[in-house]
Amino acid sequence: MSTKDFAEKDYYKVLGVSKDAKPEEIKKAFRKIARDNHPDSHPGDKAAEARFKEASEANDVLSDPKKRKEYDQARSLFGAGGLHFPRSGGATNVNVEDFLRTAGNGDGFGDLFGNLFGATGGRRTTTRSARRGADIEGETTIDFIDAVNGTTVSLQMVSQEPCQACRGTGARAGTVPTVCPTCQGSGMHATTAGGVFQMTEPCPDCHGRGMIVDDPCQVCHGSGRARSTRTMQVRIPAGVEDGQRIRIKGKGSPGENGGASGDLYVVVHVRPDPTFGRDGSNLTVTVPVTFSEAALGAEVEVPKLGGGTVRLRIPEGTPNGRTFRVRGRGVTRSDGSKGDLLATVDVVVPTGLDAASRRALHEFAAAAHEPNPRSWEVS
């Protein structure tokens, strides 16, 4: 839309509402016009199509409080094709185009129109929308003890970053991309659905970049992005579990046009430990004890993750498979507290008995008078 067209259009008249019409009145008026003139209902009717487009344009401005305010301010400056300056004898009408031409591209009026229509008035608005960088994923394998205590690993990541050859423009060296004529450089394209609702989506011609590359860079083929390999230090928090996916904010691919960087997602694989296992925030360990220790009771040494032992008292008559809890010797939780060490007794049955040992066990069985543990047997 040219500056002259803007100055002469009366959107309130287009919708048939007053200048102080409430948003509900504007919406109601537009819906009626859209319903009566929608192209789907009047195929081939150019007049109805023009009326529909004109009403859509008016509704786009008047239904947006910010746009409507700017439009009203502009209309207070411009009359029907002229700019009014008060003077003692009345008002002087100045041609709009002549005024903007001699005022150095509007001396700010271009920005006013640009806010409404993207690229009208004396200056063209070429602000492109910011685009967030892509997320990237990586994997790492760490030892069991590092998963419990936390560690820092080096990861070599491959991501898409601004092409060094064209500095991210996508254009061959010595050339520059041009502003997309469809979206006027914004990277976004507005469409009207059902004649009432307006949706904004990435421009189909420039794919959201706001620029068109006529002579593409030979390295990135016009995308402005290129594969980049970099090594970064990533902190793996304490207590991570096998297969867990960790998000590291802002460590993905850089954004475009001032957009935020994407995120890095790291899938952690944990090597099993020959001694310890995990049950949530608890560590598990199997403690072999002899028949005598289980029967008579004993104090045994239980290993700690990372070295050293803790003493565990086995009560007299402890059955095979009983689990004891050693508090505070497990995995660090997110709140800083620690889980426990769960020690499960495994009674080791003696093998390869000599004659003396056999006689002793027979004597024990006779003296102990143990009840039959197989209750289903008929005596």
In degrees to the nearest 10, what's the CA dihedral of 235, 239, 243, 248?
Answer: -30
> In this structure, are residues 119 and 106 in contact, taking their beta carbons and an 8 Å threshold?
no
- Could you tell me the pLDDT band of residue 246, with boundaries at 50, 70 and 90? very high
Q: Which residue has the higher pLDDT, 179 or 157?
A: 179
What pLDDT, on a 0 to 100 scale, did the predictor assign at position 198?
63
Asked if the structure places residue 201 within a domain, the reply is no
What pLDDT, on a 0 to 100 scale, did the predictor assign at position 121?
42
Q: How many CB atoms lie within 10 A of CB 90?
A: 8
Statement to judge: residues 141 and 254 lie in one domain: yes
Task: Identify the weakest region by mean pLDDT among 21-30, 166-175, 240-249.
Answer: 166-175
Tokens of 98: 């002549």
Statement to judge: residues 259 and 285 lie in one domain: no
**Domain total in the chain:** 3
Asked if the structure places residue 254 within a domain, the reply is yes
What pLDDT, on a 0 to 100 scale, did the predictor assign at position 376?
77
pLDDT digits (tens, 9 = 90+) for 291-322: 999 999 999 999 999 889 999 999 999 999 99
Average pLDDT along the chain: 79
Asked if the structure places residue 259 within a domain, the reply is yes
Q: Which residue has the higher pLDDT, 352 or 145?
A: 145
Query: Is residue 279's pLDDT more than 70?
Result: yes
pLDDT digits (tens, 9 = 90+) for 158-195: 766 778 788 777 888 878 888 888 887 777 777 765 55
Percent of the chain with pLDDT over 90: 32
What pLDDT, on a 0 to 100 scale, did the predictor assign at position 76?
67
DSSP state of 105: G
Average pLDDT over residues 231-257: 88
Statement to judge: residues 34 and 100 lie in one domain: yes
Query: Is residue 102's pLDDT more than 70?
Result: no
Closest by alpha carbon to 116, among 257, 9, 256? 9
Q: Which residue has the higher pLDDT, 85 or 143?
A: 143
Statement to judge: residues 227 and 307 lie in one domain: no
CATH number for the domain spanning 283: value is: 2.60.260.20
Asked if the structure places residue 327 within a domain, the reply is yes
Rounded to whole angstroms, how far apart are CA atoms 127 and 186? 6
Q: Which residue has the higher pLDDT, 69 or 317?
A: 317
Burial of 228 (0-12, 13-18, 19+ CB in 10 A): middle
Query: Is residue 350's pLDDT more than 80?
Result: yes
Residue pointed to by tokens 């050293």: 308
Tokens of 287: 């403690």
Query: Is residue 100's pLDDT more than 50?
Result: no
Rounded to whole angstroms, how far apart are CA atoms 23 and 14? 15
Query: What are the angstrom distances between the C-alpha of 53 and each of 28, 109, 114, 154?
Result: 16, 25, 20, 58
What pLDDT, on a 0 to 100 scale, did the predictor assign at position 210?
78
- Could you tell me the pLDDT band of residue 57, with boundaries at 50, 70 and 90? confident
Average pLDDT over residues 17-40: 87
Percent of the chain with pLDDT over 70: 79
Average pLDDT over residues 122-134: 59
What pLDDT, on a 0 to 100 scale, did the predictor assign at position 129?
60
Statement to judge: residues 25 and 100 lie in one domain: yes
Rounded to whole angstroms, how far apart are CA atoms 249 and 184? 32
Tokens of 158: 């491959």
Rounded to whole angstroms, how far apart are CA atoms 267 and 142? 11
What pLDDT, on a 0 to 100 scale, did the predictor assign at position 328?
92
Which range is most confident: 215-219, 306-310, 321-325, 334-338?
321-325
Whole-model pTM? 0.50
Asked if the structure places residue 37 within a domain, the reply is yes
Task: Identify the weakest region by mean pLDDT among 117-126, 136-145, 336-345.
Answer: 117-126
Asked if the structure places residue 376 within a domain, the reply is no
Helix (H/G/I), strand (E/B), else coil: 56: helix
Statement to judge: residues 149 and 265 lie in one domain: yes
Cα dihedral sign, 217-222-225-228: negative
Average pLDDT over residues 326-353: 91
- Our measurement of the distance from residue 157's CA atom to the centroid of its chain's CA atoms, rounded to an integer in Å, reads 19
What pLDDT, on a 0 to 100 scale, did the predictor assign at position 313?
95
Query: Is residue 106's pLDDT more than 50?
Result: no
| Residue 336 phi, psi (nearest 5) | 95, -15
Amino acid occupying residue 284:
T
Rounded to whole angstroms, how far apart are CA atoms 361 and 379? 23
Query: Is residue 81's pLDDT more than 70?
Result: no
Of 270, 290, 312, the last residue of a domain is 270
What pLDDT, on a 0 to 100 scale, did the predictor assign at position 314?
94
Rounded to whole angstroms, how far apart are CA atoms 251 and 266? 11
Element at 70 (helix H, strand E): helix 65-77
Statement to judge: residues 102 and 172 lie in one domain: no
The edge-to-edge listing of strands for the beta sheet with 323-326 is: 276-279, 282-290, 341-348, 323-326
What pLDDT, on a 0 to 100 scale, did the predictor assign at position 1?
45
Asked if the structure places residue 247 within a domain, the reply is yes
Asked if the structure places residue 124 within a domain, the reply is no
Average pLDDT over residues 260-270: 92
DSSP state of 311: E
Which residues form the domain of 70? 3-117
